[in-house]
Amino acid sequence: MSVRVRIAPSPTGSLHVGNVRSGLFNWLFARHHGGTFILRVDDTDLERCEERYLDEILDGFRWLGLDWDEGVGVGGPHGTYRQSDRFDRYAEVVDGLLASGAAYRCFCTPEELDERRNAAQREGRPPGYDGRCGLLDASEAGSRAASGERHSIRLRMPDEAIEFADLVRGDMAFAPETQDDFVIVRTSGAPTYHLASTVDDVDYEITHVARGEDLLSSTPKHIAIARAMGATPAIYAHLPLLFGPDGKKLSKRHGDTSLRAFREQGFLPEAMFNFMCLLGWSPGNDEEVISRDEAIARFDLDAVQKNSAVFDTKKLEWLNGEYIRALDPEDFIGRVLPELGDLTAEQEAAFRSLAPLVQERTKRLEEAAEQVQFLLVADDGFDYDEASWDKQMTKDFSRPSLDGALGVLEGVGEWDTDSIEAALRTWMEAEELSARKVLQPIRVALTGSAISPPLFESMDALGRESTLARIRRALDAMG
């Protein structure tokens, strides 16, 4: 059997990392087995779907390196791969299901459904649909529909249990009393997710469906639709849900969970790929850094864990730092430069001189840009971090130390890292001054913060004039 898998995002919002993980696992499974990875679009909700979200979704998968063999943007034998272009096909399937008796028209109003549901709950019966309209004569139902009477269409569920072997969760069984006849076409005439998704899976010859565990309860419905169409259902694998470090399902309470947000914060696609691989799967041997080729070689759906996976941003930052430090220096510079905006040749040269030191101390590209901002502003064009100022610039020793350091630096001959460090340390030793009393106030004076790249290299990158000007400005600010 040639493996065919898919991801079917809905362009009603930004691409969520949960959908990214599902897409990644499907992609890995396809690549491991030499199969086909399909990207189709669930855009039946025409009011909420927006092209800008689709563009963001496609760009996000490309950024992560998840190429697709068929689907939106690349084509294939199944048209546009957009559900919004397949309404005629869904209607054709529904006509066949009605003709075979596998589906029936339901004329129950929302008020009637609520009343019967409440009565069932009061009497301790299952609150699902009671199948009343399924007893109607098909010709009578057809006449009522033809007269314009408002109705939905329901699938007639089988009387026996629906069983299947889940590649992740093992053998599953859903008793018939838990599965009521469900709506496949709304009263508006629009197909439901259950119908559209299953028809697509059948038509596109999807062999395996790997998706989030939250869709497990939908699987009996999808199997029933496929069988009613005369097709063999796909093999299912329900992936563990993503949780935050607090043990709760990943949501907005944990911050922005879109892929776009992580891109904007300076996470590398290589690190994001690696991290997402580990959300419910392990390459073994306690490995945490794994290449794309190694992941493809080792991955399989039956090795995915049942337990929920923790989306730990701190672990992602650590992993991202590992990947940043492993970058070729020119590659690192090339990735950070776009974050810095338009630079003069002098500013770019200053950044390049500090780049190796920044690279060693960076967990996110956003941090790298922050660390070198002091190089890119005018000597009087930045504010002092309030906490850093209060801690370093208000002590009794702060002004004398800064004033003495200014005098030493004014006398430095050759302005380079070694000469600057030698001059200051010789003076500090002679005056019996600690680094804390001298170097930290200088750091705040030059960068506005107590945190920056190594000080002597920063002074070299700033140059003599800017270094002295900034120290004088800080002394003036002390009053």
The angle at the Cα of 105, spanning 102 to 107, to the nearest 5 degrees, equals 150
Give Cβ neighbours of residue 275 (< 8 Å, ≥ 6 apart): 315, 316, 319, 320
Residue 382's CB is within 10 A of a number of other CB atoms, namely 17
DSSP type of residue 208: E
The angle at the Cα of 362, spanning 356 to 364, to the nearest 5 degrees, equals 130
Tokens of 324: 């940043």
DSSP type of residue 380: T
Amino acid at 232: T
How far does CA 459 lie from the centroid of its chain? 39
The active-site residue out of 221, 248, 252, 363 is 252
Specify whether the CB–CB gap between 208 and 275 falls below 8 A: no
Nearest to 296, CA basis, from 61, 18, 37, 1:
37
The answer to whether residue 252 is catalytic is yes
Give Cβ neighbours of residue 475 (< 8 Å, ≥ 6 apart): 399, 402, 403, 406, 445
Give Cβ neighbours of residue 173 (< 8 Å, ≥ 6 apart): 161, 162, 163
The angle at the Cα of 156, spanning 154 to 160, to the nearest 5 degrees, equals 150
Give the chain's count of helices (H) and strands (E).
20, 12
- Residue positions annotated with a catalytic role: 252
